[in-house]
Each structure stands twice: as C-alpha cells, then as structure tokens.
Amino acid sequence: MFSKITDPRYKQNRFFISLFTDISQIPRSDAALAAYEFTECCERYPEYKQLSSALLDLYDASLSSQTALFGGARRTDIWADTIDDRYALNGEKLERELATLMCDCILRPRANDGMFDEKTVEMLRAQLIDNIDSVINDKAVYAAERAAKTAFVGEAAELPASGTRENAEKITAKSAFDAYREILRTARIEIFAVGCSDFSESEKIFAEEFSRLDRGDIYSFNLKPSALKDKPKYVEDELDMQQAILRMYFKAPDMDDRPANALFSNILGGMTTSRFFEDIREKRSLCYYCGCHSDRFSKTLFCSAGIEPANAELTKEAMLVELNDICENGVSQDELERAKLEVLNTLTSIYDSSFGISNWYLSQILDEKFISPEEYAEQIKAVSPERVREAARKYALDTVYLLKNKE
C-alpha cells in the first residue's frame, strides 16, 4: 500500500518502506543481514562507496535500514530522504532519483547464482555479530533481552529481531539471499511518502517496480496479546557489574482502552512527575532511575529500575504498592491533567519531522482505520479518572527479573 502525507512546512521528502513478515518462517539473523544488504550495495552500485557517492549527488541524501519486531511480526524498514526538487540548484529531479535508487537497492541486489556477494556477506556478518555482542555494553538493553526470554517464552518477542550470535555465525551468502527472496515474496509491503511533494510520480515508480515481484502467500497479521502466566515467574541473572537492574512485567490480555492505558502508564512511571519518579526515586531514594511504558499490541506494561542490589526487594514492593494504590484508590484529577498535558505535548511534536508523522501512521496499520494526532488528542482529553483506574485494574504481574552483580 502506498500512503502519502503532504505538508508544505517540510523542506524534504522522505520514503519509508516497511516489509512485514512472519518471524517464525525466516531465520532472524539471515533476515537482519538481508536488511543490511538493502543499504550496502546493489547491481547499479556494486560497492558501498559508489552507493554513498550516488547519495551524495542527491544533495547528501540519506539511506538507512533496520530490522525490528512489530505486533508479533518482523518489520524490515528501509527509509531515505533528500531535499525537495524546488531547492535543487540545477533542476535535478531528486525525488524521482531517490525513489528509483531505493527500488534498485531493494529489488536489484548485488547477487549471482542465487547468492549475495561472498565478501559483502562476510563483512556484514561480522558487523551483525558485533552489534549482537555489543548489547552487553548497555546493561539496560542486555537486561531487557534476558528478561524477554522469560516474559515472552514461546512468542516472537522472546528473542531479539536480529537473532543470536550462534545463528549469525551460521549465515552464508546463500542463506541470506534465500531470506531476502522470502521477505520480498511474502511481505506485507507498506510505503509511506512524507514531505512537501504530491508524490504522484514516485507513486507510479513504486507501483511499477513492486508489481514485478514474484509474490506468494502474503503475510497476514494474527495479533494476539502476550499470554499471562498462571503465576508470576521470578528470575535472577548475574553479571560483572556494580549496580543491579530490576524489570517487572505486567500483562492485561483484555485491555481495550488505549487512551486510558496510555495515561495510566504515564502516571505510574512514564514522566518526571510520575509516582515511580516522585515516590520511589525522589522520596525514598531506592533507585537511580525508575520508569515504565506500555505496549498496546502485546498488552504488556514494562517497568524497570536501576538499583543497588540491596534495594531489589524494597523497590519491587514499592512498584507493586504504587500500582495497587491506583487500582484501589484511583488517580487524582491533578495527576490526570498532568498526564494528559504530557501526551498532548508529545502529539503536537509529531509534525516536527517527517519521521515522526510517518511513524505515527505506520504504527496504526493493525487498526481498523487511521486516526490523526488531533483525533487521538480528543480521545485523550475525554479520559476520566475512573477509566484510568479500570485500565490499571486489568493488569496482573507476570514476570520479575533481576540482573545483579556476581558478588
């Protein structure tokens, strides 16, 4: 599907292409390397320096890619932007050239005999392994990945989108190319164009190019909330580190009030005036940081805190107390108004960049219809304290994870 958002305030044009595929059908690490290939080279520009030079000629256009998880699926993103044709010094058709270049990179990779170039794969495999290994340098991300193995066992979110080091080491030029072909064969393809152009020419280019694909069974979302365990699971890991990280997962399989849920998570731990921040961090000094956020697809509330190991039990109990207090006693009107203001301010900033507005609509592809930031703002304004309390009461504790020092 091709969607376009035109706003004369922008001086650039951006294309954001997302390919949604079944996470269980294509090896994660092979798919991640295939995503690297999209922005490394192609038939037209077989070396990265040639592709980089071509982007530079388009007034220093950018081209990026990534692999992530989304609604239980794999999401392979490729995006690019450059200035609008109006600002080209010699009348260059920058939008057309950028759309064509993206099609070259996605549809005409550097490959031969059913394989990517061996040397390119060797380099990208090493890069992928380095990225997987580097997670341990960010203890918060490392803790999140380790905790996910318990919180989402048997689900797509159990493992990171890029897979494991063990799987990455097994990638070959053929296996990566097989993953690439399967992505294009089965992906649900969403193309967003955002900028000051009307994108009529680009729409024709993408339609013509992607219509040539050999397509199979197109991926269809089967969205399910994350399964709530019969009883909470408690897990501890050890690592050579000075502090400790506590993560708690609450799940609400029947959550259906998106605006109230967003405000609840903000009040609990999503802003600097939240209960976690003011009561647990500031008043009781139990942690270095403490916060939470919710995922509306898995219907999970993620709570985390950086703590001294000796404060683990106290912090866990304090988090439970704050959540239970909202369940029992609700929230004040002042808390609710501050949370609404926080969300409304975030909504107004969505238009500040083409990335923000494209990501806003892309995040809604599983919904029955798109709503604008203004429409969502009206939904936020209508939320009552009672609805926030009801949202809180839907959650139940699922997983408690502690990463602490070996001593």
What's the domain range around 272? Answer: 233-405
Listed in sequence order, the residues at least 6 apart from 193 whose beta carbon sits closer than 8 Å to its beta carbon are: 2, 3, 4, 5, 13, 14, 15, 16, 199, 202, 203
Separation between Cα atoms, residue 362 and residue 400, nearest integer Å: 31
At residue 407, does pLDDT exceed 80?
no
- Mean pLDDT, the chain, integer: 96
Can you tell me the mean pLDDT for 263-288? 96
In this structure, the answer to whether residues 54 and 203 fall within a common structural domain is yes
**47 shares a domain with 160:** yes
pLDDT higher than threshold 90 for residue 222: no
Task: Say if 186 falls within a structural domain.
Answer: yes
Q: How confident is the model at residue 36 (pLDDT cuts 50, 70, 90)?
A: very high
**Identity of the amino acid at 135:** V
Residue 264 lies in a domain: yes
Residue 354 pLDDT greater than 90, yes or no: no
For residues 202 and 304, membership in a common domain is answered with no
Task: Indicate whether 218 belongs to any domain.
Answer: no
Confidence of residue 68 (pLDDT cuts 50, 70, 90): very high
Axis crossing angle, helix 385-393 with helix 333-349, rounded to the nearest 10: 90
Torsion of CA 31, 33, 34, 37, to 10 degrees: 170
Mean pLDDT of 55-68: 96
Question: Which of 210, 242, 269 represents a domain boundary (last residue)?
Answer: 210
The total number of structural domains in the chain stands at 2
Q: Do 317 and 392 reside in the same domain of the chain?
A: yes
CA gyration radius, the chain: 23
pLDDT at 324: 98
Predicted local confidence at residue 399, as pLDDT: 98
Q: In terms of domains, do 286 and 239 share one?
A: yes
State the pLDDT at residue 190: 96
Kindly give the interhelix angle for 200-210 and 94-107, rounded to the nearest 10 degrees: 20
Residue 40 has pLDDT above 90, yes or no: yes
Asked whether residue 148 is assigned to any structural domain, the reply reads yes
pLDDT at res. 355: 87
Q: Say whether both 277 and 396 belong to one domain.
A: yes
129 C-beta neighbours (distance < 10 Å), count: 18
Q: Which residues make Cβ contacts (< 8 Å) with residue 112, sequence separation at least 6? A: none
Counting DSSP H helices and E strands in the chain, the numbers are 15, 12
Measuring CA to CA, how many Å separate 149 from each of 21, 81, 159, 232, 233? Answer: 21, 36, 7, 14, 11
Say whether both 198 and 260 belong to one domain.
no
Strand order in the sheet with 396-405: 233-239, 396-405, 244-251, 300-307, 289-295
Residue 11: inside a domain, yes or no? yes
**Mean pLDDT computed over 132-138:** 95
Strand pairing report for 396-405 and 233-239: parallel
Residue 173 within any structural domain of the chain = yes
Same domain, 164 and 45: yes
From 136, 15, 167, select the one nearest 78 (Cα to Cα): 15
User: For residue 52, what are its two tokens?
Assistant: 């980089």
Q: Which of 195, 210, 225 is at the close of a domain? A: 210
What percent of the chain lies above the pLDDT cut of 70?
Answer: 100
* Contacts (Cβ under 8 Å, ≥6 apart) of 39: 51, 63, 64, 65, 78, 105
Domain-ending residue, one of 178, 210, 242: 210
Q: DSSP E strands: which ranges in 7-51? A: 12-21
Ramachandran angles phi, psi of 398, nearest 5°: -115, -45
Which uninterrupted H or E stretch holds 181?
A: helix 173-186
CATH of the domain at 120: 3.30.830.10
Q: How large is the greatest C-alpha to C-alpha distance in the chain, in angstroms? A: 67
243 and 157 in one domain?
no
| Mutual angle of helices 94-107 and 48-57, in 10-degree steps | 160
Q: What is the pLDDT of residue 393?
A: 98
Grade residue 260 by pLDDT with cuts at 50, 70 and 90.
very high
pLDDT at residue 96, rounded to an integer: 97
370 within a domain of the structure (yes/no): yes
Q: Are residues 55 and 165 in the same domain?
A: yes
Q: Can you tell me the distance from the alpha carbon of 266 to that of 338, in angstroms, rounded to the nearest whole number?
A: 9
User: 131 pLDDT band (50/70/90 cuts)?
Assistant: very high
Give the model's pLDDT for residue 269. Answer: 97
SS3 assignment, position 88: coil
Task: Measure the CA–CA gap between 336 and 7, rounded to whole angstroms.
Answer: 32
Going by pLDDT thresholds of 50, 70 and 90, the confidence category of residue 9 is confident
Does residue 216 fall inside a structural domain?
no
- pLDDT (0 to 100) of residue 259: 98
Question: Both 157 and 46 in a single domain?
Answer: yes
The answer to pTM > 0.85 is yes
* 141/280 same-domain check: no
CB atoms within 10 A of CB 187: 24
Q: What is d(CA 108, CA 106) in angstroms, rounded to the nearest whole number?
A: 6
Sheet strands side by side (includes 73-83): 2-6, 188-195, 12-21, 73-83, 62-70
Residue 26 has pLDDT above 90, yes or no: yes
